[in-house]
Structure formats: structure tokens, C-alpha cells
Amino acid sequence: LSDLPWWKRATGYQIYPRSFMDSDGDGVGDIPGIVSRLDHLADLGVGFIWLSPVYASPQRDNGYDISDYRAIHSEYGTLDEFDRLVAEARDRGIGIVMDLVVNHSSSDHAWFQAAAASRDAPEHDYYVWRQGRPGGLPPTDRQAIFGGPAWTYVGAVDAWYLHLFSPGQPDLNWDNPALRAEIWDMMRWWIDRGIAGFRMDVIDLIGKDVDAGHFDEGPHVWDRLDEMHAQVLAGRDLLTVGESWAVSRETVGNYIGKPGPLAMMFHFDHVKLGWDDTFHKFRPREVTPLMLKREIIAWQTHLRDDGWDALFLSNHDLPRQVSRYGDDGADRVASAKALATMLHLLRGTPFIYQGEEIGMTNFHAASLSDVADLEVHGQYDGMMAAGLDHATFMDGVNLNGRDHARTPMQWDASASAGFTDGVPWMTPNPNYPGLNVARDRADPDGLFAHYRALTQLRRAHPLIVEGGFQAHLEDHPAVFAFTRGHREKRLSVLVNLTGQPQSLTVPDAMCGAGKPLVCTHDTRHGLQGDVRLAPWEAVALLRG
Ligand code: TEU
């Protein structure tokens, strides 16, 4: 096991800095706040932190709009404080993985300021400019992911720039070799500060062919990643995880095949199950346990022999997993344990999103004024124009919106959930007095204890890291059954993904007798014949 890379053995934890912990009372999370909570993460047993962007930024998209790639956002702290975070985390065996947001910069970046002031500036070509069509129309009808046209006109250069996200996020021109060299330099600069790797934002978009209208997984994406690998990553012991909403089982091998430029990919087929073809996340679709399970099985099977999975149900763009796939009412704790057991025992590197370890939930937005996220506001008019009704849109926001993940971390029952002494930038979920870290950690049957047990099992049993994956009872509508095998050892996992009791006949390939590693309900020492699982029951037994 020790010859496996550290990032296969570790459990990850994502921090959304704005909402994690405020140390200075300005209502916004910060780096010293993170340092003050490192012991919580060390106790949880995580091996690395994926830090959502902490770079200088006007924060129009909470840092996914970077105005200086070599500076820390002033509300979050200083470079010295960042270096201290790296050192303090390292002392606890935790690496810091930076978010690399290089499909676009902020429009406040000095490059863009120069680019938009003169066509003669060398930086002008760092961005994507085109002429408009007659009648003052943008170059194409392409719509931005955050609503409205994907092009904005700048009079000083008499041209339109491309922004696949908001107008404050102009796309960088990856066709320009000088721009690429700037990015490679910047990455080396962070690596030299001692970081453990990169999570790469919308990385499939860096290969776009704008004139061909080919944006997702454009023709140059893998060449560019190969160049990045040769220039920056090769020979360094880093975790790399690309994010792509377009990557499929057909294309994933180009990113992470043997050998591929990256180590793993965040893929979203299981998330998109809950999306409508036309209205996307804003007309939610039901996701049945069978749909979820089938999608996971397909990816696990595909990556079984070549590749490595990045395992997640939540992140800062997604709803809280217990609200989306579990039960955030009476069965909140049980269903959150079931989901966690399933995810952490699959083959790949598991990621915990902040607050997931205590089962934080979605909140209810009564109207648009309860929503902070620019995506929701930016998409509203377009969705209404396309025929969606307001009530359904709000259902979509309440089930799938990005704000649910961004409410302040619920540390304790004191004012503002112990997140800040000041006025929090976002209202905490009103359920914090009963649902918070202090309370959950005091409960030996709480979620934190369950997650800690899972990270410890991963450290104790190489099988969980390196064992193969085999699904069983694939058509069972409610129970996810799989085995993980390595040599003579076998881990058998059964998870009831519903709030009803379930019956099944244990297949021969699953273990008879075994050592109980996880038993969320009665302790079981064997799985044989006809078995009845309690609502949300999860069992993992080890044989050999
Ligand atoms: O997200 C990629 C992305 O495309 C999302 O915006 C996603 O499509 C959307 O949430 C679904 O409705 C990444 C970051 O994770 C996100 O926070 C950023 O806003 C985005 O890129 C732009 O950098």
C-alpha cells in the first residue's frame, strides 16, 4: 500500500473559505479562521484540503473571478497567513490543494484592464475578442452559463470579449503561448510555496475552438493538459483533479488514462440525473436510488482497471447531499450515514464538503431576495422567457441551488452558528441551534463519529484503497450492494438507500461470515441468505 500515491490513500475535505470560519468579525470567513479549525479536520482524519479560491478577487463569483493569481484576497488574509496555513496543516499531516481557475480571470485583472484599453497591448490577445454582427449584435448567440449573452462589447477596442460565465469572468485565450507560459509560471510559484496539488476549475474549457463553436472538451484540451504536465506537473508528487461538466466515460481516459496528464476527474453524470434537458437544475427531476446507483456503478466499472475516481456527492455548487439524496427530516442522521458509507467505500479518493461531516442541510428560500448566488439571478429572466414558471424555478432553487452549500459552517449554537462575531455575509441555516459541530461531536452516534470511523477504516484497511470493485444485485431498486476485493480479502457492502425496510437475498459472491467494519444498526457478523435491512441501514463486513 505504501507504494500507492498519498492522494489515493487520503480522504479529502473541501473548504469554501468565505463560509468556513471568520476570525476577525467582518462576517466573512478567512485564512486564520481555517487555521483555528485545523484540529477539527485532523480529528476527522482528512489528508488534504481542497481550498476553493483564496486569490485576490472582487468576489463577484466568490473568488472564481481572480484579479491577481499571486495574491491573497484581502478579506481572507495575507500571503504570510497562507504560508502559515500550509505549515500548520502540514504539521497535522494535511496538504493544501489549491483551486486553479484559469479558463477565465476577473475583468479586474491587470491583464484584462490592459487588454480592454488598447488593441496594441500585449495582453489584448490574452483574451478572446471578436467583431460583432450588424445591428449591434454580439458575434454569436451563445449564452453565458450565468445568463445573458456570452459576449460583452468594449468601446475602447471596438470589439466583444467572450465570457462563458459572467461578464466579470472574461475567458483567457489559451491559443496564446505567452498566456500559457504565464500560467505555468504561476503554478510553479504556488508549488514552491509547498502546496499539495491543484483542483482545476472547468478544465475541459481550455481547449475551445471559438469560431467552430466548440467549447466543451474542445479540440485542444488534452494537448494543453499534456503541455501543462510536461511544463509543471511531471516529476512532482502532486494531487491533480480536473473538474469537467462535459467529461464522459468515453473521454475520461484522455485526462487520466495511463499515463494521463491528471490524476482524477470530477465528473457530473450523477448530478445531471436530477436536471432537466431544457431548464437544467431549475426544473428538478426526481433521482431514484436506482438511477444514482446505476450511474455510480457505470463509472466504478469503467475506471476499475485503468484510472482512479474522485468520489463526491457534494461541493460548493451543489445542494446538500442529505437533502438531495437522503432525508433531511426525521432520518437525517441515518440517511447521511448511509450515503457516507456508500461513497467512502467505493474505489477512489473520497471528498467531504464542509458541513457534510455533521449532515448540514439545504435551507428554504421563499423568494429570490433570499438568494445570493449570481447564477440564480443571472438565469432567472432567461428561464422565464423560455417558458418556466416562477414556482417551478423556486423549487429548482430550493432543491438544486448553489447557496445551500454556502451558508456559514455551523460550529455551535451561539449567535451566527459560531461562524462569526459580526454580521455574517450570508444568513446561517436557521436549523443551526440543533445542528452544529459542537452538538454532533458530543454524540458518539453522531455523524462526525461516523465520518471519522470511515477515514480511520481507510487508513487501517488497504483493501478500501486498492481493492477492485464489483457490483451485485444491480437491478435492486433500493439497495446498493458491492464488494471490494484484493487477493484473498473481500469487503462486502450493503446500503439501503431508502427510508423503507428492504429485503434481499445475499448473492454468493458476498461474504458469509465477516468482521463488521460498519454497522449502522444491529451489529452483524455475517451476510447470508435472506436479509432484511432497516431503513437507511448500511453494513460493511470484511472477510480474510
Ligand atoms: O463550476 C463550473 C460550472 O460550470 C458551474 O458553474 C456549474 O455549471 C453550475 O454551477 C451548474 O449550474 C466552476 C466552479 O465550481 C463554480 O463555482 C464557478 O462559478 C464556475 O466554475 C466558474 O468559475
Each residue's pLDDT, cut to its tens digit, for the chain (544 residues) gives: 568 999 999 999 999 999 999 999 999 999 999 999 999 999 999 999 999 999 999 999 999 999 999 999 999 999 999 999 999 999 999 999 999 999 999 999 999 999 999 999 999 999 999 999 999 999 999 999 999 999 999 999 999 999 999 999 999 999 999 999 999 999 999 999 999 999 999 999 999 999 999 999 999 999 999 999 999 999 999 999 999 999 999 999 999 977 799 999 999 999 999 999 999 999 999 999 999 999 999 999 999 988 999 999 999 999 999 999 999 999 999 999 999 999 999 999 999 999 999 999 999 999 999 999 999 999 999 999 999 999 999 999 999 999 999 999 999 999 999 999 999 999 999 999 999 999 999 999 999 999 999 999 999 999 999 999 999 999 999 999 999 997 789 999 999 999 999 999 999 889 788 999 999 999 999 999 999 999 999 999 999 8
Say yes or no: 483 and 426 in one domain.
no
Say yes or no: 62 and 121 in one domain.
no
Of 450, 474, 493, the last residue of a domain is: 450
Q: Measured from the CB, is residue 123 less than 6 Å from ligand 1?
A: no
Say yes or no: 431 and 518 in one domain.
no
Say yes or no: 515 and 531 in one domain.
yes
Provide the CATH number for the domain around residue 427. Answer: 3.20.20.80
- 265: Cβ contacts below 8 Å, ≥ 6 apart: 241, 242, 243, 244, 247, 252, 255, 256, 310
Asked if residue 1 belongs to a domain, the reply is: no
Say yes or no: 318 and 333 in one domain.
yes
Beta-strand relationship, 538-543 and 515-519: antiparallel
Q: Measured from the CB, is residue 222 less than 6 Å from ligand 1?
A: no
Asked if residue 426 belongs to a domain, the reply is: yes
Of 128, 162, 196, the last residue of a domain is: 162
**Which contacts of 440-444 are long-range, i.e. CB under 8 A and separated by 24 or more positions?**
440/358, 440/359, 441/358
Burial state string for 175-184 with b = 16 or more CB within 10 A and e = fewer than 16: ebeebbebbe
Asked if residue 456 belongs to a domain, the reply is: no
Give, for ligand 1, the residue of 18, 61, 145, 314 to mutate: max count of ligand atoms closer than 8 Å to Cβ. Answer: 145
Asked if residue 267 belongs to a domain, the reply is: yes
In 3D space, the residue among 317, 299, 328 whose CA is nearest the CA of residue 353 turns out to be: 317
Of 162, 181, 204, the last residue of a domain is: 162
Provide the CATH number for the domain around residue 469. Answer: 2.60.40.1180
Say yes or no: 125 and 182 in one domain.
no
Say yes or no: 441 and 488 in one domain.
no
- Residue 310 near residue 203 (C-beta atoms within 8 A): no
SS3 content of the chain, % helix, strand, coil (to 5): 35, 20, 45
Give, for ligand 1, the residue of 202, 282, 283 to mutate: max count of ligand atoms closer than 8 Å to Cβ. Answer: 202
Distance CA 472, CA 452 (A): 27
In this predicted complex, what is the ipTM? 0.94
Say yes or no: 320 and 221 in one domain.
yes
Q: Measured from the CB, is residue 165 less than 6 Å from ligand 1?
A: yes
Q: Measured from the CB, is residue 524 less than 6 Å from ligand 1?
A: no
Say yes or no: 479 and 503 in one domain.
yes
Say yes or no: 115 and 98 in one domain.
no
Say yes or no: 189 and 137 in one domain.
no
Q: Does 88 qualify as catalytic in the annotation?
A: no
Half-sphere exposure of residue 422, counting CA atoms within 13 Å on the CB side? 12
Kindly provide the residue ranges of all beta strands, DSSP E only, lying in 110-158, ordered along the sequence: 129-130, 151-154
- Residue 182 near residue 188 (C-beta atoms within 8 A): no
Atom number, ligand 1, closest to the C-alpha of residue 64: 23
Provide the CATH number for the domain around residue 137. Answer: 3.90.400.10
Q: Measured from the CB, is residue 205 less than 6 Å from ligand 1?
A: no
Q: Does 243 qualify as catalytic in the annotation?
A: yes
Say yes or no: 98 and 115 in one domain.
no
Asked if residue 344 belongs to a domain, the reply is: yes
In 3D space, the residue among 315, 62, 52 whose CA is nearest the CA of residue 168 turns out to be: 62
Domain count of the chain? 3
The residue range of the domain holding 478 is 461-543
Asked if residue 455 belongs to a domain, the reply is: no
